[in-house]
Structure 1
Amino acid sequence: MLIAEGGGTNSGITQHDPVTGTQVNAQVGTVQFAAGKASSSTVDITVRGARSGSEGTGVVLSPDGYVLTNNHVIGSGGEITVTLPDGTTRTASVVGTSPSYDLAVIKLNGASGLTPAELGKSSTLAVGQSVVAIGSPLGLEGTVTSGIVSALNRTVDVQGENGQPVIYNGIQTDASINSGNSGGPLVNLDGQVIGINTSIVSNSKASGNIGLGFAIPIDTASRVANELINGGVATKPQLGVTGTNGQSGAATISSVVPGSAADKAGLKAGETIVKVGNRAVSSFSDLVAQISSNVPASKINLTVADSAGGNQRQVEVTLGSEQDKAAETPDDSLFQQQNPYTSPDGGMQGER
């Protein structure tokens, strides 16, 4: 017997409504509110090919079914099936991809009346701010986890589709992100999407979440998504240099592409790029990430030094613009070491 019987009287278990009501009616600025608001605009994406497939998450951008996700979720090809928040499914087709940013937009077939996500501004984020991640880890649709912004402008090197390197300045969070979360929203407590969950750090002892997740800032993702929806192709900024890590940090220029933005600004092979704007450059990968976070054709200021880091000078550069049809490929030697970053899409073994 689990519950003792009362002597002669009808005793039983009673339940009570919450005193404050917050368990029933979510208040703005709580995890519950953010989860409820953003979940209505979050979908599960399943891709099945002849031999394999993947599962990830997406963010609804429009009532008629444009959805933002990661390129590595849909990049392998196959039939795309999207499960909506109400449990109904739609097939979808690819509108366009941005390999350098690991982003893609798909369009649901026959969709209408969907709830678009409210997009925030990643430029207003602060370290320590509470955030919520929503996705389909291990196929568990609509899973909500919470945490904080652990760091901003974290340089992330991740292997994208077909082994292409993808480098970006990410939002670091300790909100749990696992296989199947890729392409899902990272939101603030107002329920606004401030990032697209894309990669995690794992190690040889643990393949899942260890509290180190990364999201592509929505300021970049929204620009790319708009370009894909409007023209099917995204653009990326171009500096026009190859290089290596400097001996004491920074990025050393190995060569300058003739006619590029760097060439027009007078940058030379052997020089070192120390800062982009007011932010120090810690490596060549960091330089690529910082450049990629800018809008094509925008003006930036670089602090350039000689090979020893001396004789610093300020250089204004008007970035070039090119179509994003292939991932950034700076000096290949940078990517020969084992990369701890992985993309948390849920791989599925197909039938033969």
Structure 2
Amino acid sequence: MNESQPTDPSTGPVTDAVTHQHAYFPPTQPQSVWEPHPGAAPPALSAPERPRGRGVTKPIVVTALLAGLLGGAVGMGGSMLLNQDASSSVPVLSSQPAPAATAADVQPGSITYAAQVASKSTADIKVSMNQGTAVGSGVVLSPDGYVLTNNHVVAGAVNGGDIQVTIADGKTYPATVTGTSPSYDLAVIKLKGASGLTPATLGDSSALQVGEQVVAVGSPENLSNTVTSGIISALSRTVTAADESGSGVTVYNGLQTDTPINPGNSGGPLVNLQGQVVGVNSAVDTGQASSGGVQSFGLGFAIPIDTAKRIANELLQDGQATKPVLGVSGSLASADQSVSGAQVSSVQQGGAAAAAGIKAGDVITKVGDAPVSNYADLMAQILTHTPGETVPITIGSGGQARTVSVKLGSAVDKQQTTIPESSGGNGSSGGSGFPFGGGFGLVP
């Protein structure tokens, strides 16, 4: 050990408590200034003596004495602190006020603002049926109580179910179905005796960009006014789900979002950061459901508001909506598995496709600029257009590709647009499927 390193007889080298490095004192000069310790006599200071043999000088002895006195003072202080803690009263815990929200937090362009705006125009919907209760959400369309929601939320009320709707202020109203559009999974209901409701502001889904932040409001698992946020993950996705009969697959085109959407969110608003409704929440991809409950993978889907506006206006005016008709049939199982596109099994005589020169066996690869990889894509893309609209359709690929213009037909949307899983030649699956367009053709 270096002789200049002070020591404590009981603890060894004096160590700095913060840096854990040794504290060194001057090894050869006596202390020129001394501060007396309470109750301690000052040591006698004298001139340094010559070293004798292996001994140490008196200044070092003085230094060691000071270190020992310092250690004793520290020990005393620690003892006093412990005694003080032991005699102190039990502390009383209290909360501090949270910082006030800044102006930016409640201005357009923030999640807080979007949530506040959307919550005022969101309704909770409960449908009581003989076989159970369905819950969902809705978007308030008018002060007197017209509300937009999903068809699958209120489908049970068509056969006598009872609808109860709770709005943002907690009031509950009975409601009836104004009209439904099964192919688009949309419906409009009317609250009885309602007035002074806050209508939602509808936005423009065609202006959305991938990565744009959005907010969903609804009642997942009966938890009213639940707000979740995320982004737009994709603008055009083919959404498929089992149809009501279980014999086919219902198809539509939707917005994809990673915003958490769960059972009970169906029919509620998906809004941008301006608080404008850009979609109607409709479905979530849960992958393989386990016995322990639903598994969520962050794949939510909403019906674009541009589509929902057209359907809602028709339901409000006529109590029914229309959908476009292409007039072909096919299935998810193409006759040629190597073909990428929607292979046409048959063409409706006198229909829109026939008039454009589309024939059985043709493979449709694009609708407008949207690529088509299978028959479900074809159906979903047709549904994005309006009845009577002229749409370019590409048949084949590569050097064999050709494009034809098709003026789409129209049909009243009375049942889901579905697709059989195998080809039956007339749009059905072994006779048990769902016929398109009254027995033949694609509607869309």
Q: Is the shorter-chain TM-score for this pair beyond 0.5, marking a shared fold?
A: yes
Aligned-pair CA distance for 1:309: 6.7
2:249 maps to a residue whose letter is P
- Asked which structure has the greater RCO (Cα within 8 Å, sep 6+), the reply is 1
Q: Paired residue for 1:71?
A: 151
Q: Paired residue for 1:187?
A: 271
Q: Paired residue for 1:325?
A: 414
Aligned-pair CA distance for 1:50: 2.3
Which one has a larger percent helix, Structure 1 or Structure 2? Answer: 2
Could you tell me how far apart the structure 2 residues matched to 1:81 and 1:6 are? 62
Could you tell me how far apart the structure 2 residues matched to 1:180 and 1:132 are? 15
Aligned-pair CA distance for 1:19: 6.2
Which is further off, 203-212 or 168-177? Answer: 203-212
Listed one character per residue, the Cα deviations across residues 32-84 of structure 1 (whole Å, up to 9, x for unaligned) are: 10000011000000000123120000000111111000111110120000001
The CA RMSD measured in Å over matched residues stands at 2.4
Q: Following superposition of structure 1 onto structure 2, how do residues 124-273 of structure 1 map, counting pairs within 5 Å?
A: 124-163=207-246, 165-202=249-286, 203-205=288-290, 207-244=294-331, 245=334, 247-273=338-364
Contact 2:250–2:419, Cα closer than 8 Å, also in 1: no
Is residue 386 of structure 2 the alignment partner of residue 295 of structure 1?
yes
Could you tell me how far apart the structure 2 residues matched to 1:209 and 1:27 are? 31
Q: Paired residue for 2:125?
A: 45
| TM-score of the aligned structures, taking structure 2 as reference length | 0.70
Which is further off, 39-48 or 209-218? Answer: 209-218
Is residue 99 of structure 2 the alignment partner of residue 18 of structure 1?
yes
Q: Following superposition of structure 1 onto structure 2, how do residues 101-112 of structure 1 map, counting pairs within 5 Å?
A: 101-112=184-195
Q: Paired residue for 1:349?
A: none
**Structure 2: any 5+ residue segments left out of the alignment?**
1-84, 430-444
1:6/1:142 CA distance change after superposition, 3 Å: farther
Aligned-pair CA distance for 1:121: 0.9
Contact 1:255–1:268, Cα closer than 8 Å, also in 2: yes
Contact 2:344–2:359, Cα closer than 8 Å, also in 1: yes
Q: Paired residue for 2:110?
A: 30
Which is further off, 160-169 or 39-48? Answer: 160-169
Contact 2:251–2:418, Cα closer than 8 Å, also in 1: no
Contact 1:132–1:145, Cα closer than 8 Å, also in 2: yes
Contact 1:44–1:83, Cα closer than 8 Å, also in 2: yes
Aligned-pair CA distance for 1:160: 4.3
Q: Paired residue for 1:312?
A: 401
Could you tell me how far apart the structure 2 residues matched to 1:249 and 1:5 are? 80
Contact 1:101–1:166, Cα closer than 8 Å, also in 2: no
**Structure 1: any 5+ residue segments left out of the alignment?**
337-352
Q: In structure 2, the residue corresponding to 1:333 is in which secondary structure?
A: coil
Q: In structure 1, the residue corresponding to 2:265 is in which secondary structure?
A: coil
Could you tell me how far apart the structure 2 residues matched to 1:21 and 1:159 are? 47
Q: Which has the larger radius of gyration?
A: 2
Contact 1:99–1:161, Cα closer than 8 Å, also in 2: no
Which is further off, 213-222 or 202-211? Answer: 202-211
Contact 1:99–1:160, Cα closer than 8 Å, also in 2: no
Which is further off, 86-95 or 237-246? Answer: 237-246
Could you tell me how far apart the structure 2 residues matched to 1:5 and 1:324 are? 79
Could you tell me how far apart the structure 2 residues matched to 1:190 and 1:291 are? 30
Aligned-pair CA distance for 1:20: 6.0
Q: In structure 2, the residue corresponding to 1:168 is in which secondary structure?
A: strand
Listed one character per residue, the Cα deviations across residues 178-231 of structure 1 (whole Å, up to 9, x for unaligned) are: 111110111111111111111111123461422111101111111101100100
Aligned-pair CA distance for 1:7: 7.3
1:184/1:20 CA distance change after superposition, 3 Å: closer
Contact 1:75–1:161, Cα closer than 8 Å, also in 2: no
Q: In structure 2, the residue corresponding to 1:151 is in which secondary structure?
A: strand
Aligned-pair CA distance for 1:17: 5.5
1:168/1:12 CA distance change after superposition, 3 Å: same
| TM-score of the aligned structures, taking structure 1 as reference length | 0.87
